[in-house]
């Protein structure tokens, strides 16, 4: 059995961070699961309402809840299946004549048991969307180092996430977690375990090579060990705070009390 779970979507056009909604349409699919027999072909229904032409749009069929889930991608008037899940290679097609009528149904040939599961179709006017400034959060000590997580939202197509040290060398990091929002845009998240360094400077770079777009955030908040550094000398005390404001409240207050005694 193969389920097709198309969601109703609101679509818009994105130019960089600016959202310009020029037209709204819904993407509809069946509520009932689609049932198929192994070895046969099946149509996963999906269509636009109103029935505007989808020829100039992007049509994307994905498997839900798997990494790199592309089952079929139609973009810039052609099928772009280079990054398709390998098991679907040569087994998918849209209906070119039907696309003109807003019918974005997918034909899946030679159904296999591994095809079973929920699918989603996205249809959008999105051609590019540059996401948000990456946000770095500190998860504290984990697996022998300090765990930092970088997150950025609202990208299309999917960007890469790279962690770098203070010299710009890329750091070995966990796999990039990817999610799609209701508009079909990508949220990416990647974790790295770092060791403290002298500068405590780490960069998260999110880049989309096709668009030649890049956003990065630099941190010097490596963890609890260096919550602040203190330089004494010349009759003064300089406190450098490397943590967040809420943590500062306690420690800075403590320090002000101590400082009063120097």
Ligand X SMILES: *[C@@H]1O[C@H](CO)[C@@H](O)[C@H](O)[C@H]1NC(C)=O
| Subset of residues 59 to 98 that bind ligand X, contact rule: CB under 6 A | 95, 98
For residue 47, state whether it binds ligand X (rule: CB under 6 A).
yes
**CB contact at 8 A, 161 and 46:** no
Residue closer to ligand X by CB (options 50, 86) is 50
Ranges of H-type helices in the chain? 96-99, 245-259
Residue 103 DSSP class: B
**Among 1, 43, 183, 214, contact with ligand X (rule: CB under 6 A):** 43
Strand 145-155: give its sheet, edge to edge. 135-142, 145-155, 186-194, 177-180
> d(Cα 170, Cα 89) in Å, to the nearest integer?
32
**Among 51, 65, 87, 182, contact with ligand X (rule: CB under 6 A):** 51
**Among 63, 75, 91, 101, contact with ligand X (rule: CB under 6 A):** 101
For residue 155, state whether it binds ligand X (rule: CB under 6 A).
no
For residue 112, state whether it binds ligand X (rule: CB under 6 A).
no
**How near is the Cβ of 183 to ligand X at its closest, in Å?**
23
Closest-CA residue to 153 (of 173, 130, 182): 130
Site string for ligand X, 3-42 (x = CB under 6 A): ----------------------------------------
Long-range contacts formed by 80-83: CB under 8 A, 24+ apart: none
**How near is the Cβ of 89 to ligand X at its closest, in Å?**
21
**CB contact at 8 A, 84 and 91:** no
For residue 103, state whether it binds ligand X (rule: CB under 6 A).
yes
Can the peptide bond before residue 31 be classed as cis, meaning omega within 30 degrees of 0? Answer: no
Instruction: List contacts with ligand X (CB under 6 A).
Output: 43, 45, 47, 51, 95, 98, 101, 103, 105
């Amino acid at each position: 059995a193969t389920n097709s779970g198309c969601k109703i979507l609101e679509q818009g056009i994105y130019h960089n961070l600016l959202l310009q909604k020029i037209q709204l349409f819904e993407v509809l699919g069946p509520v009932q699961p689609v049932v198929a027999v192994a070895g046969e072909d099946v149509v996963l229904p999906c269509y636009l309402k109103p029935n505007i032409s989808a020829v100039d749009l992007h049509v994307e069929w994905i498997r839900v809840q798997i990494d790199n889930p592309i089952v079929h991608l139609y973009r810039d008037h052609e099928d772009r299946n280079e990054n398709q899940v390998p098991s679907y290679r040569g087994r998918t097609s849209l209906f070119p004549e039907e696309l003109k009528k807003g019918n974005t149904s997918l034909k899946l040939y030679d159904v296999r048991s591994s095809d079973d599961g929920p699918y989603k179709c996205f249809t959008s006017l999105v051609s590019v969307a540059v996401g948000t400034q990456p946000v770095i959060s500190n998860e504290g000590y984990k697996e022998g180092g300090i765990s930092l997580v970088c997150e950025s939202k609202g990208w299309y197509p999917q960007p890469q996430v790279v962690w770098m040290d203070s010299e710009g060398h890329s750091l070995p990091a966990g796999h990039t977690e990817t999610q799609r929002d209701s508009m079909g845009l990508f949220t990416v998240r990647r974790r790295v375990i770092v060791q403290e360094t002298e500068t405590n400077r780490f960069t998260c770079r999110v880049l989309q090579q096709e668009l030649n777009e890049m956003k990065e955030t630099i941190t010097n908040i490596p963890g609890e060990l260096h919550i602040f550094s203190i330089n004494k000398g010349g009759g003064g005390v300089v406190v450098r705070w490397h943590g967040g404001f809420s943590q500062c409240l306690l420690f800075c207050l403590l320090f002000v009390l101590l400082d009063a005694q120097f």
